[in-house]
Amino acid sequence: MKIQNRHHYMDENFVFTSLEGYTLVQKLPTIRLLRLLKILPHINKEITLHSFRHTHPLLLIEAGEIQQQLGHTK
């Protein structure tokens, strides 16, 4: 979306954005996530958007890159 709309895209580093780069109301990504969970029955239905907030640091820890990503390099 950034490339297609580069002339009027407001890049504020949000994960979920409109075509113009503005943050979405949290309800919209939540509705999309619920739709995906309905068609993917083998995935735990307790997943929320907040779950992804915890998943990212965990993956960074496992990859040994957490300090660099959080700006705590030695």
State how far the Cα of 57 lies from the Cα of 36, in Å rounded to an integer: 23
CA distance to 14, 19, 21, 40, 74, per residue, from 6 (Å): 15, 10, 10, 33, 36
State how far the Cα of 22 lies from the Cα of 38, in Å rounded to an integer: 27
Host domain of residue 64: 45-74
Does 39 share its domain with 7? yes
Higher-scoring residue by pLDDT: 32, 69: 32
For the cut 60, the answer to whether the pLDDT of residue 49 exceeds it is yes
Does 28 share its domain with 55? no
Does 19 share its domain with 38? yes
State how far the Cα of 29 lies from the Cα of 16, in Å rounded to an integer: 7
For residue 17, the 8-state DSSP code is B
Structurally, the chain folds into a number of domains equal to 2
Does 26 share its domain with 58? no
Does 50 share its domain with 38? no
Share of the chain above pLDDT 70, in %: 85
Does 51 share its domain with 36? no
CB 21 within 8 A of CB 10: yes
Reported as a pLDDT band with limits 50, 70 and 90, residue 73 is: low
Does 37 share its domain with 50? no
| pLDDT tens digits for range 24-43 | 777 888 888 889 888 888 87
